[in-house]
A and B are shown apart, each in its own frame.
Chain A
Amino acid sequence: MKKRKAPKRSRSRREFLKMAASGMAGMLIVTLIPKSSSGQRIHNIEEMKHVPDWMDHYYAYVVDTTKCIGCGACARACKRENDTPDGYSRTWVERYQITDTGHVYIDSPDGGINSFPPKDVEGNVIKGFFVPKLCNHCRNTPCTQVCPVNASYESPQGVVLVDKKVCIGCGYCVQACPYDTRYIDPRTHTADKCTWCYHRVTKGLAPACVTVCPTKARIFGDLKMKNSQVREIIDNQRVMVLKPELNTEPYCFYIGLDRAVR
């Protein structure tokens, strides 16, 4: 027995136009919703508040080595905030001990995450200090330059980021970084690094390491803001960058950087 065809549902021109208009309006609304850095739609109302300001910042970081006490709170906070894998560090603290014999002792046990137990050195320590390290978010970045698929890129706010959904895990950026702040995450097999807690700063919060530093040795701010602390320091104080001879133009500046620092 032949199956009877269902009668075609007739639509009036008015109905059709209504449907078309509502469809187009819906599509327009979807395209107007701003995207987050990872490409995902934003659905959090709190995040939406900061959307208009996202692009209107240019960040910089200052490390005052004269204030760092090597407590390791920054390294711990970073690990908690960013869930860094064991054996790798997005930020760490180095201890320098220079003795009267001319020896330079450097150590950073577990990145200084558990602070620094006393260490025996030869001779008397004549100079000792701590140096926090992190991604320098360079302007002339060797890491983004070498990334073959643009997975490493610089955000408009001057933050160097990695898109883990694009990264092929070749490790070229890790080799190119002169500061050794990058690593291949053994869990995702992609490059990973300090983002200056991009997920926080885009919400108007400071990076985790800056927030917990008890001596304010780590300072983060917006260079576009005239009264920001980082701008005041960079404009008025003598600051230095790591490995300046490589011309990477870091935006992580150091106060009180000793010549012994690697």
Chain B
Amino acid sequence: MIYTEFSFPNDSHIIWSLMIVTYPYISGIMAGAFGISALYFVFGIESLKPVSRFSLLVSFSFLLCATLPLLNHLGHPERALNVVIVPNHRSAIGGFGYIYSLFLVILAMIIWFAYREDMIRAAEAASGLKKRILTILLLWNQNLNDDTRQVDRQMVFILTAIGIPSMAVLSGYVGFLFGSLKSNPWWSTPLMPFVFFVSGIISGLALVLLLYLYLGWYGYLEKSYICLRMLCSLLWFSTAMYIVLEGVELLYFYYESSDAWFVISTLLFTKLKYSFFVLQLGIGLGVAFVLLSAMFTLKLEETSFAKMGAVAAVYLLFEVWMMRWNIVVGGQLFSKSYVGFREFHPQWLEKEGILMAIIFTLLPFLVLFAVTRFLSVRPTTEEAPEQITSSGSQAGENI
């Protein structure tokens, strides 16, 4: 049977647009940044020390803003809290409020313990409103001695260990929202949570790498070649994992050749031809992976290594955004008749338009800037000089 194009009458509108693209993008960055901190605080990877606490702040800033695009998307945002107050426990979204809140609380507590000493010192040096705010943040407790430092370190270790599964659930969770919908063959795959999780890790790593290079350049963070190399190694590994996952997913669809493959193949080779094959896989993933591979294959100067890493990170950030777009919007470009397709062209000034998406994507940076007014991006104050030597002993001073 050869079907001519037909869409169901209610299939003329895209319901989940740029806001639902933006949310997993932000939450993915949050997960990736937290992963870097966890590698240092829990698994003791010393080379990541220069960015360990800064990554916590990046993660926190993005987590704080993650729900904003969702709220903007809702038809009735004033009822949003009902998701937590009267949730449907059978719904995949029903658990969102709890998972999000749990991770937010854990992350806030980690930051509190990780920055306690810094905040005490800052409070002692500050005056006026800043001192008052810091005193409140410290919960009026400014005890500082070896015992309290020990407790702080232990708490950071324990909380970060608890935070890892919470972060993985929160990040992979959005993939589950899509993957569990049997109505949509492009979404309905058990690999979806892993695809979202790994791509989230990539975007978080890429952003922290870029910010690290930027802040290192301006002297806010210690330039450490070992740290940079470790970040790029992790980025390469995550990207390789992602290529395998994406490849297996597509191969599975193709090899199974079910009813779903007809609509998926048509979708990929018509509507998503440019955005999936050219922008996401070709320009985003392909170029970045070649760059990252070249960085570790060729003998590069540290400056060149850093520059190539930065370019690869930009490409990967673009790739992950395109992936979100192709999944979220791509999955709505065909009708549930499976034989009809539609167009989607986002507008600039609509409620869920391009401008709002840009604002919500940039907002976490503003929050990060505000947070760093109170919390230093540098590694632990007292250990900083020591740490610079240890992690930056082989460092290129000109990154």
A interface vs B, CB < 8 Å? Answer: 87-89, 92, 94, 98, 101-108, 110-111, 133, 142, 144-150, 166-172, 174-184, 188-190, 246, 259-260, 262
Among candidates A94, A110, A148, residue contacting B83 with C-beta atoms closer than 8 Å: A148
A-facing residues in B1-21 (Cβ within 8 Å): 1-4, 6, 8-13, 15-16
Residues of A within 8 A of B182 (CB): 142, 178, 246
Smallest CB–CB gap between B276 and chain A, Å?
Answer: 20
Partner-binding segment picked from B69-77, B264-272, B298-306, B369-377: B69-77
Among candidates B4, B76, B91, B93, residue contacting A105 with C-beta atoms closer than 8 Å: B4
Smallest CB–CB gap between A165 and chain B, Å?
Answer: 9
B74 near A183 with CB under 8 A, answer no
User: How far is B156's CA from A199's CA once the two chains are assembled, in angstroms?
Assistant: 58
B338 near A262 with CB under 8 A, answer yes
B interface vs A, CB < 8 Å? Answer: 1-4, 6, 8-13, 15-16, 73-77, 79-80, 82-83, 86-88, 90-94, 96, 177, 181-184, 332, 335-339
Tell me the nearest residue of chain A to B87, going by C-beta: A148
User: How far is B75's CA from A246's CA once the two chains are assembled, in angstroms?
Assistant: 28
Given contacts A169-B74, A175-B181, contact A104 B1 (CB under 8 A): yes
B337 near A106 with CB under 8 A, answer yes
B75 near A168 with CB under 8 A, answer yes
User: How far is B91's CA from A88's CA once the two chains are assembled, in angstroms?
Assistant: 26
Among candidates A98, A168, A179, A190, residue contacting B336 with C-beta atoms closer than 8 Å: A179
B15 near A171 with CB under 8 A, answer yes
Smallest CB–CB gap between A135 and chain B, Å?
Answer: 11
Tell me the nearest residue of chain B to A188, going by C-beta: B75
Residues of B within 8 A of A259 (CB): 1
Smallest CB–CB gap between B371 and chain A, Å?
Answer: 29
Smallest CB–CB gap between B61 and chain A, Å?
Answer: 25
A176 near B10 with CB under 8 A, answer no
B16 near A142 with CB under 8 A, answer no
Among candidates A92, A149, A178, residue contacting B9 with C-beta atoms closer than 8 Å: A92
User: How far is B92's CA from A144's CA once the two chains are assembled, in angstroms?
Assistant: 11
B183 near A148 with CB under 8 A, answer no
A184 near B15 with CB under 8 A, answer yes
B339 near A106 with CB under 8 A, answer yes
Among candidates B10, B15, B73, B94, residue contacting A148 with C-beta atoms closer than 8 Å: B94
Smallest CB–CB gap between B186 and chain A, Å?
Answer: 11
Given contacts A179-B336, A262-B6, contact A145 B79 (CB under 8 A): no
Residues of A within 8 A of B76 (CB): 167-169, 189-190
Which among B6, B77, B86 has the greatest number of chain A C-beta atoms within 10 A?
B6
B83 near A262 with CB under 8 A, answer no
Residues of A within 8 A of B4 (CB): 103-106
Among candidates A88, A105, A168, A181, residue contacting B80 with C-beta atoms closer than 8 Å: A168
Residues of B within 8 A of A181 (CB): 10
Smallest CB–CB gap between A235 and chain B, Å?
Answer: 29
Tell me the nearest residue of chain B to A110, going by C-beta: B9
Tell me the nearest residue of chain B to A90, going by C-beta: B10
A149 near B82 with CB under 8 A, answer yes
B91 near A172 with CB under 8 A, answer yes
